[in-house]
Each structure stands twice: as structure tokens, then as C-alpha cells.
Amino acid sequence: MDAKSTAPQVLSRISQKRIDPPAVHSGMPVTELIEQVFLSYNAGRLREACRLYNEKMLADDATVGLALSGALTPAGLGISCLVPLIEAGFIDWIVSTGANLYHDTHYALGMDLFQARPGMNDLELREHAIIRIYDIVFEYENLLNTDRFYRTLCRSEAFQQTFGTAEFHYLAGKYLAAREEETGRKGKCLLAAAYRAGVPVFTSSPGDSSIGMNLAALQLEGSQLRIDPLRDVNQTAAIVFDAKQSGKSGVLILGGGSPKNFILQTEPQIQEVLGLPESGHDYFLQCTDARPDTGGLSGATPSEAMTWGKVDPNMLPDTVTCYVDSTIALPLLTAYVLSKHQPRRLKRYMDRLPELVQQLEEHYEEVRTRREAEEK
């Protein structure tokens, strides 16, 4: 058969729509810009990401986990994007770097950060006690005051126990929410918003941030506060296992690193380690600047994750990777879904963690009992 004669049939099978965008005009809504103008390359992937989040990940029976890395809260993205998403019920649980949560605290405490430019004289900044995060600057005193806040808070009786990181952040969020109310700054702090919405916030490497550094100093003072990261492993797996019993599990990954692995390893924990029947997360949406060919986890593709059991092989069409800076993608994604989707009922997983872990434990006990019987 002549190749020319089959071209229309093949095109109709592999294409979506003819490229013929409208002229961009003043007042064009963000949703229309994304739908009509973001057609190809990573703009096209971002359009697909917006649709995936809006149409499938925000279904009533779907659970959305957020993996957060990179210095996003210092840039104001906690205030502008993550807090509104939490309040709308569009994020159900979170794995974040500790640094994002530490710098998030500045805003609840009324400490200012400022826009600047890259390429400044860092020695001069150091001499004048100014901290720089690329093109963000703030006074060194912010760090000292935030350290003082956490040390004072965590010396209190309520913190003299062992926590998982979600439990620790929830209790800290209670006090940060109260501080917001006192100072008229409600809506400025991610941890405070998560507390109000019952959204668990885990940190995959609790010692790797200024919060962890201050808790370590308290341990030298004789504090009884302890962080149990193994509790986090079971609690995150329990959230995903519960989500998959009656619905879908989706992950929104901003950046990569340890939070990406921790949110995805829930499925291997369920399948490989606990031996429970499961097939992987249903929806995978990542914004990253990491390349896959270096072998690092940050750039690993959803199909590679599928080989580990992290992503359901039958759901690979419902995966999107955008090779774009999260500081560009997140505001667009947030504006899109807030315009397109009604707020969802809050799942309040924080209130249910003990129940969910017990459910996971009971299923695991059944598997262990069966294994031991088979080995005899």
C-alpha cells in the first residue's frame, strides 16, 4: 500500500488536534491560555499535567500526595499556591524537605524575605549578615529567631515524647496557626494550613534541615523529644493502602530528591516488603529539571518507576513529566485547577492515621500468618 494513502489514517490515530492557536490577547484567562496556546514541547506537557490533575487526580475517589523539594516556600509559593490548594482539598498528604517547612515558618512569624538578583557579592552579604537563596535575600536574624521559636516551642511538655514527622509537624502547625491568628497573618503558612485541614506533612530526612538541627540541640539538653522515621514509613504506606482499597492514588511531584522517593516507595513497601496485593500509584505528575540519563532518582521516568512497582503499569498513559521549573509550573497549575474544579471535601488523613496503620497491620498479620503456615 502506498505510504501516502495511509498517512491520513495514521495521523488521525496519533494526533490530537490541528495546531492553529488563537492570537494571545489582553485579558485571556489562564485556563484558555493553557488549553489553546500551550500546545507542544514542555508547554504541551504542562497542558497535559493540568488536565490530568483536574480531570482524574481530583476525582472524589482519588487521593493526592504532594512531594515537595527545592526552595519553593522561600520564594512565596507556599503562600501563593500550596495553601490555596490545601484549603480547596486538592492536596491530601505531603512529603516535604525540612528546609521548605523551616523557611515556611518565617512567614507565620512575620519575618520578611525579599526579591533581589543573582550574581551579588556574597562576601559582602556575609559581612552584613544577609542570607541569600539565589535571588532571595533576608536577614541572618530570621534564622536565629526561627531557631529560637522552635527550641522554645519544643522544650514545652507537649513535645516531650516520640513523634513521627507528620505528628510533630501537626503539633507545631497548631501553634503556628495560633500565631497566624494572633498577628492577622492567616494563610501565610503551609504548616498552619495543613494543621487546619488535617493534612499530614512528612519529612523524609528529618535531620537534614534547620528544624532537625534544633531538635538535635535539644537532645543535648536532655529533651525527651524523639523523631521516629520508621513510623513515617508505615503511616505513608497506610495512607496509600487505604486510598487504593476504594479508589485511586495520585502523586504530584515538584522537583525530585528524597521526597520523590519517599512518596513513591509506599507502593514497594506495600507490595514487596509487606507482601500485600497492590499494583502501584495510578497517577504520576512530575515537574523537574533533572535528566533521566544520569541515573538519578530525581530524573527517573514513571515507566522506570513502574518496574519497581511504584506506578501501576496499566496506568502509564496517565503519567506526565514536565521538564520545567516548578516555580513556573506550579502557579499555572494552581490557577488552572482552582478555575476548573470545585473544592473537594477534606479527607483529613491526619485524624485517621492510627486507624489506617491498624488496618495495614491487620492485613500484614494475615499475610505473615499465611507465610509461616506455608513454611512449616
275-317 confidence digits (pLDDT tens): 999 889 999 999 999 888 888 888 888 888 888 888 988 888 8
Q: How far is CA 311 from the centre of its chain?
A: 17
Of these residues, 244, 248, 310, 347, which one is catalytic? Answer: 310
**Among the listed residues 285, 241, 218, the one whose alpha carbon sits nearest the alpha carbon of residue 49:** 285
Residue-wise pLDDT for 242-265, tens only, equals 999 989 999 999 999 999 999 999
Report the DSSP pairing between strands 248-254 and 283-287: parallel
319 touches 284 (CB < 8 A):
yes
Check residue 1 and give its pLDDT: 52
- C-alpha to C-alpha distance for 128 and 167, rounded to whole angstroms: 38
Closest CA to 263 of 251, 271, 254: 251
pLDDT at 2 over 70: no
End-to-end CA, the chain: 64
Average pLDDT of the chain is: 93
Segment 112-136, tens digit of pLDDT: 999 999 989 999 999 999 999 999 9
Predicted confidence band at 18 (pLDDT cuts at 50, 70, 90)?
confident
What would the mean pLDDT of 37-57 be, rounded to a whole number? 95
Write down the pLDDT at residue 267: 95
Give the whole-angstrom CA distance, residue 324 versus residue 314. Answer: 26
18 occurs within a structural domain = no
Tell me, what CATH number does 128's domain have?
3.40.910.10
Q: Is residue 1 part of a domain?
A: no
pLDDT digit string (tens) for 49-103?
A: 999 999 999 999 999 999 999 999 999 999 999 999 999 999 999 999 999 999 9
- Whether 6 is in a domain gets the answer no
Nearest one of 45, 105, 50, 69 to 263, comparing CA atoms: 69
- Whether 143 shows a pLDDT value over 80: the answer reads yes
Q: Is residue 46 part of a domain?
A: no
| Residue 54 is assigned to a structural domain of this protein | no
pLDDT of residue 3: 61
**Packing angle between helix 210-221 and helix 98-108, nearest 10 degrees?**
90
* Residues 108, 251 contacting (CB under 8 angstroms): no
Count of domains for the chain: 1
Domain membership of residue 162 as a residue range? 62-375
Q: What CA–CA distance (Å, rounded) separates 325 from 287?
A: 7
Q: How far is CA 241 from the centre of its chain?
A: 18
- Separation CA 285–CA 45 (nearest Å): 10
Backbone angles phi and psi of 10, in degrees to 5: -65, -45
Question: 93, 250 in Cβ contact below 8 A?
Answer: no
What's the mean pLDDT in 218-222? Answer: 96
Domain presence at residue 324? yes
pLDDT score at 376: 67
Asked whether residue 197 is assigned to any structural domain, the reply reads yes
Q: In the prediction, which pLDDT does 39 show?
A: 93
* Active site annotation includes 310: yes
pLDDT value for 15? 72
Q: Is 201 exposed, middle or buried (0-12, 13-18, 19+ CB in 10 A)?
A: buried
Hey, CA dihedral for 80, 86, 88, 90, is it positive or negative?
positive
Q: How far apart are CA 294 and CA 300, in angstroms?
A: 9
